[in-house]
Chains A and B, each alone.
Chain A
Amino acid sequence: MTAPVAHDAPPDGARKAAAVPTAFRMTAGRISLDGREILRGIDLAIEEGEVVAVLGANGSGKSTLIRALLGLIPLSGGSTELYGSAPARFRQWWRIGYVPQRLSVGGGVPATVREVVASGRIARQSRFRPTSAADRHAVSRALAEVGLGDRAGDPVQTLSGGQQQRVLIARALAGEPDAFVMDEPTAGVDAASQRHLAGTLSGLVRAGRTVLLVAHELGPLEPLITRAVVLKEGCVVHDGLPPHAVGAHALPGHDHVHPHAPEAPQAATGGGMSGWSDAAIGSRRTENLDL
């Protein structure tokens, strides 16, 4: 529940998060599906600019957790917040880029790679306005970023599993969100493309984006990860440095158990309308992809 903004000093403890931009927060979260308790006692806060990996065995509840954080699954107890609002009250959905675990191919009606990627712009488009040049530009950029520019006109149904995964990533990139929520973005993706994805993400992270991803193998993403949350049978059993943590990569200002504000408030980037950082574009130029 978000109280209406008060301008006087808030009562102690009531709004301790006010100064710290928290992208995702779950408090005492519990989730039951079909009468079975899938997640319990989840307390999690992901600050802006963090790169968090959710790890755990199959069926440990990783996908359920991130879907619940987005408000896609109702909680049976506790609460979640997106940028300080309950999901039902949240209005800035363009700030979120969701990459589901797999591509859903609607009923066999063909859709081209470009059509699917372009749908990532939907949260930024208004109903009565036709697709703009900025929309098209962002889509082309996202396609190039995942190395699928030459397949733009092909039906997604005809792509391989790893290529479909990259279509999903491109769809999220096209929306130019502030926070990426990715469910196994690298599953089935070849090593070269994984390295490229890592390059793309590191550019985005440098520009202040938040990343929350599920993975079994971190692979080339590992150096980016600032924090790992490990799930086991629906409980958080580890929250801190990634398992093979390399201290050098941990950002200052993060403690091991419950990171609070990063020192520099990166939220001042003005809502992420500006697109990707130069760093991201640079990394695209320098990385050569053979696909």
Chain B
Amino acid sequence: MIELFALDFMRYALAAAVLVGLTAPAVGTFIVQRRLALLGDGIGHVALTGVALGFLTGTAPVLTAVVVAALGAVAIELVRARGRTSGDVALALLFYGGLAGGVMLIYLTPGGSTASLNTYLFGAITSVTGADLWVIALLAVLVLGVLAVFGRELFVLCQDEEVARAAGLPTRFLGLLIAVVAAVTVVVAMRAVGLLLVSALMVVPVATGQQLARSFRATMALAMLFGVLATVGGLTSSFYLDVPSGAAIVLLALAGFAVALTVGRFVRRSRPRESTI
């Protein structure tokens, strides 16, 4: 383990892994509760346009990605709030637009090729620099801070939006807030697992926690624990086995889910009082 931390880039990578492992599942718990498990995927596609825009304009891709992803998330939330019937299709249009837009902008960039998108599509956590780490840390603190302050209200919103409104909560604002927070999280996690796999880190640890926990709070805590285990474990195995970090992280998270599924079933069976639904 020692040689892992002897290298500067590995220290940065490790710190980024921990931050991503904490934030993505924390936001993911609310997203899943709100029945928007695929929101992260949608935002990921839109963020790709942001990354490409960064290349085209010579700006830091992380910054343009945050801006474009947040705008995309706002658009998704507005479409969702408007009505459920055509919402799915409208979202799909946005996703395809994001992906196609990204590829097109890269093509327009002098000297750009889709190969330069690869780090963003599939993640390369070991390429995180000191400056990147600052940005990631700042965004992660922002995300966790918002969840700490608004968590109680977001719980009600994600459980039952109508009840939230009847309690006088600012549901439109909260809906936009959780969407934007998800967008920021996608960008934070982008360097670790890539835009195409970002959503996995928001959903899979939550699904794992769900198998073992009985409360919302415990689900979130477990999801964050499993998130960190997956990101740090994935980073470590990518270092020693020379495999891509993003894929390693997601496969580890999925393995964790499989284990929890079995354990959870066993635990539930030994709780005789509960009736299953």
Closest B residue, CB atoms, query A93: B168
Roughly how many angstroms separate A127 CA and B163 CA in the complex, as a whole number?
A: 18
Given contacts A100-B163, A155-B214, A158-B276, contact A119 B155 (CB under 8 A): yes
A152 to chain B, nearest CB (A): 10
Given contacts A107-B35, A107-B37, A110-B219, contact A122 B152 (CB under 8 A): yes
Chain B window 264-277, contacts with chain A (Cβ cutoff 8 Å), 1 for yes, 0 for no: 00000000011111
A12 to chain B, nearest CB (A): 34
Q: Which residues of A contact B206 (CB under 8 A)?
A: 109
| Contact among A107, A116, A153, A181 with B158 in the assembled complex (CB-CB below 8 Å) | A107
A125 to chain B, nearest CB (A): 7
Chain A window 114-132, contacts with chain B (Cβ cutoff 8 Å), 1 for yes, 0 for no: 1110011011010110000
**A interface: dominant SS:** loop
CB of B86 within 8 Å of the partner chain? no
CB of A157 within 8 Å of the partner chain? yes
**Interface residue stretch chosen among B26-34, B98-106, B234-242:** B26-34
Given contacts A72-B166, A127-B150, contact A106 B219 (CB under 8 A): no
Roughly how many angstroms separate A8 CA and B113 CA in the complex, as a whole number?
A: 75
CB of B159 within 8 Å of the partner chain? yes
Roughly how many angstroms separate A171 CA and B33 CA in the complex, as a whole number?
A: 19
B88 to chain A, nearest CB (A): 16
The 4 closest A-B pairs by CB, nearest first: A93-B168, A106-B33, A98-B166, A104-B160
**29 contacting pairs across A/B (C-beta < 8 A):** A70-B166, A93-B166, A93-B167, A96-B166, A96-B167, A98-B167, A100-B160, A103-B160, A104-B159, A105-B159, A106-B33, A106-B34, A106-B158, A107-B34, A108-B210, A109-B32, A109-B219, A110-B210, A110-B213, A110-B214, A115-B217, A119-B152, A119-B155, A119-B156, A119-B159, A123-B168, A123-B169, A155-B215, A158-B276
- Contacts A100-B162, A154-B214 supplied; 19 other A-B pairs, CB < 8 Å: A71-B165, A72-B162, A72-B165, A90-B168, A100-B163, A104-B160, A105-B159, A106-B159, A107-B158, A109-B32, A109-B33, A110-B216, A110-B219, A111-B215, A112-B214, A115-B215, A122-B152, A127-B153, A154-B273
